[in-house]
Amino acid sequence: DAGVTQSPTHLIKTRGQQVTLRCSPKSGHDTVSWYQQALGQGPQFIFQYYEEEERQRGNFPDRFSGHQFPNYSSELNVNALLLGDSALYLCASSPRQVYEQYFGPGTRLTVT
Amino acid sequence: AQTVTQSQPEMSVQEAETVTLSCTYDTSESDYYLFWYKQPPSRQMILVIRQEAYKQQNATENRFSVNFQKAAKSFSLKISDSQLGDAAMYFCAYRTPPSAGNMLTFGGGTRLMVKP
């Protein structure tokens, strides 16, 4: 049984560009959460998707948007990239909104 | 809003010895979960142990145990018989109640070094 998978593993973008990160949840999980982890810091909650809708959102600007597909996979989109968006982006899934979350290996985004 | 504080940026322990990592949190809720996650250099966040706030008994998972002091809002992790593979970043995390969406709030982390 595959765990949470994320793609790509790492990527480099230029300031002002747009990026899409992808996440496939663990089998049987229908809730996906996204976190941003800056270097040397703890992860910060971006938003959570359940039943293809954004259910909760952290303190992130509208440049950060997402989507969840019928198969529960999810995308994180970031527009107008800033240097400060450079971070590890973690996806976590859970069976329902009430269970502990299982994390993927993350996508390392570097903005130059 | 909930906050989680880890006051020890780095800790060091001799192999086979015991080490305790500290965590405090702030919340007005009575129903919540607390977690310790381990993040090795591979970046994968691994769940180490969890504690339900309504349970008075401290959680234990093999060499890992917690000291949960609800009134003091303290949640420390004790690692016994430390092994080289325990070296990693450790994050304390608070989970909001189900009615508030199951979001995790993390502390800033403690880097644990294990000396052979």
Establish if A88 touches chain B: CB-CB under 8 angstroms.
yes
Q: Which residue of B has its CA nearest to A41?
A: B108
Establish if B107 touches chain A: CB-CB under 8 angstroms.
yes
Cβ-based contacts of B35 with chain A (< 8 Å): 100
pLDDT of residue B103: 84
Could you give the percent of chain A with pLDDT greater than 70?
A: 96
**Tens-digit pLDDT profile for residues A4-47:** 999 999 999 999 999 999 999 999 899 999 999 999 999 999 99
Low-confidence ranges of chain B (pLDDT < 50): none
Q: Which residue of A has its CA nearest to B46?
A: A103
A97 band by pLDDT with thresholds 50, 70 and 90: low
pLDDT of residue B85: 95
Mutation target vs B (from A100, A102, A107; most B CBs, 10 A cutoff) = A100
A99 band by pLDDT with thresholds 50, 70 and 90: low
Q: ω before A105 within 30° of 0 (cis)?
A: no
pLDDT of residue B61: 92
Inter-chain CB pairs, A–B, below 8 Å: 64
Q: DSSP 3-state assignment of A46? A: strand
- Which among B85, B108, B102 is positioned nearest to B16, based on CA atoms? B85
Establish if B35 touches chain A: CB-CB under 8 angstroms.
yes
d(CA B13, CA A72): 42
Is the pLDDT at A50 greater than 80? The verdict is yes
Span A70-78, average pLDDT: 97
d(CA A91, CA A58): 14
Is the pLDDT at A98 greater than 80? The verdict is no
Pair of tokens at residue B92: 């304390």
